[in-house]
Structure 1
Amino acid sequence: MLKGLNHITLAVRDVDAALAFYVDLLGFTGHVKWDRGAYLSVGELWLCLSLDEPDVREDYSHIAFDASEEDFPRITLCLQNAGVTCWKTNQSEGDSLYVLDPDGHKLEIHCGNLRSRLEALEKEPYAGLVWL
């Protein structure tokens, strides 16, 4: 059986630019960097940046990072002041900011969790929703 998420690896064109985004803007901790990559972490998440040509898709796939309601306005302002591109407007429960990293990877900064999302679905279910 699987135990959980181990790590996420993202293809990046420029390791230093990606490091600046994830460490300086999003507050990740940098651990090591080498010619073709870097290891970072935030909370329990291990993120690998790997020098490669990103192939970003046009679907809704994205990575969502947790933020507290208290920190959300500061994070939002920081990303807006840095000129980070937004790719979607929030239409669901909890505050969310949807941004692109320097390589076009879709990210979400979200206040909430699975429990709060399920509670919201009890009040306003998605079309065709079935509880498992």
Structure 2
Amino acid sequence: MQAKPRKTTAIGINHVALEVGDIDEALAFYGELFNFKLRGRKDKMAFIDLGDQYLALTEGRSQEPDTKRHFGLVVDDREAMRPLVQRLGCTILSSPFPSGLDFLDPWGNYIQVVEYASVQFTKSPEVLAGMGLPGLHKDDQVLKELKEKGMEPPQNS
């Protein structure tokens, strides 16, 4: 009898790829929403640095706007982002969370904005410092949830 292959363990998400109409327009749009460093560009792609992860923008939209499939973008201050999303004329969607911020970018990508303090997603202190965000912390409820999993971050990072 053949041994069953060992399963791998999913560790995280390296990047999310979004289709956009034009790379320069997309970089300008996302540059209005949040501070970022450009990790690089290649052909019809651009890579927005998110510390140890990145957002890949690919020129050429191949589908209709999404209304269900989405990704959660973690930011340091969700409420500071809300007026920017409104000013840029994005379609704001109903959020399943009371203080949620869900919207479509100009190319129909569905983005759900969540705040670092209120989600279990955690960056190491070294990555936060490298991003210029050494003071970010987690809410007490999130710290409790992480502790129950044996994953309490060091020094409330």
Q: What TM-score, normalized to structure 2?
A: 0.61
1:82-93 alignment, distance < 5 Å:
82-86=88-92, 88-92=93-97
Aligned residue number for residue 21 of structure 1: 29
Q: Give the corresponding residue for 1:49.
A: 57
* 1:44-79 alpha-carbon deviations (Å, 9 max, x no partner): 3211111222314544110111234xx222211122
Q: Is 2:74 the counterpart of 1:81?
A: no
Aligned length, in residue pairs: 113
Match in the other structure for 2:149: none
Consecutive unaligned residues in structure 1, runs of 5 or more? 120-132
What runs of 5+ residues in structure 2 fail to find an aligned partner?
1-7, 121-140, 146-157
**Cα pair 1:64 1:110 within 8 Å, conserved:** yes
Counterpart in 2 of 1:60? 68
> Against the structure 1 CA distance between its residues 91 and 28, is the aligned structure 2 distance closer, same or farther, given a 3 Å change threshold?
same
The residue identity in structure 1 corresponding to 2:60 is: D
Mean Cα deviation higher: 95-104 or 59-68: 59-68
Once the two structures are TM-superposed, the CA of residue 100 in structure 1 deviates from its matched residue by 1.0
1:9–1:49 Cα contact (<8 Å) kept: yes
Q: Find out whether 1:6 has 2:10 as its counterpart.
A: no
Distance 1:74 1:58 in 2: 24
Within 1, Cα distance between the matches of 2:95 and 2:45?
32
Superposed CA RMSD: 2.3
Once the two structures are TM-superposed, the CA of residue 20 in structure 1 deviates from its matched residue by 1.1
- 1:75 aligned partner, one-letter code: M
Match of 1:80, as an amino acid?
A: Q
**TM-score normalised over the length of structure 1:** 0.71
The structure number with the bigger radius of gyration is 2
In proportion to residue count, which structure has more strand? 1
1:14-42 deviation line (CA, Å, top 9, x unaligned): 11111112223232321222441111122
Match of 1:30?
Answer: 38
For 2:85 and 2:74, the matched residues in 1 are separated by 15
C-alpha distance in 1 between matches for 2:36 and 2:15: 14
Tell which has more relative contact order, 1 or 2 (C-alpha 8 A, sep 6+): 1
Runs of 4+ in structure 1 off by over 6 angstroms are none
Matched, 1:103 2:113: no
Which stretch of structure 1 is more off in the superposition, 97-106 or 48-57?
Answer: 48-57
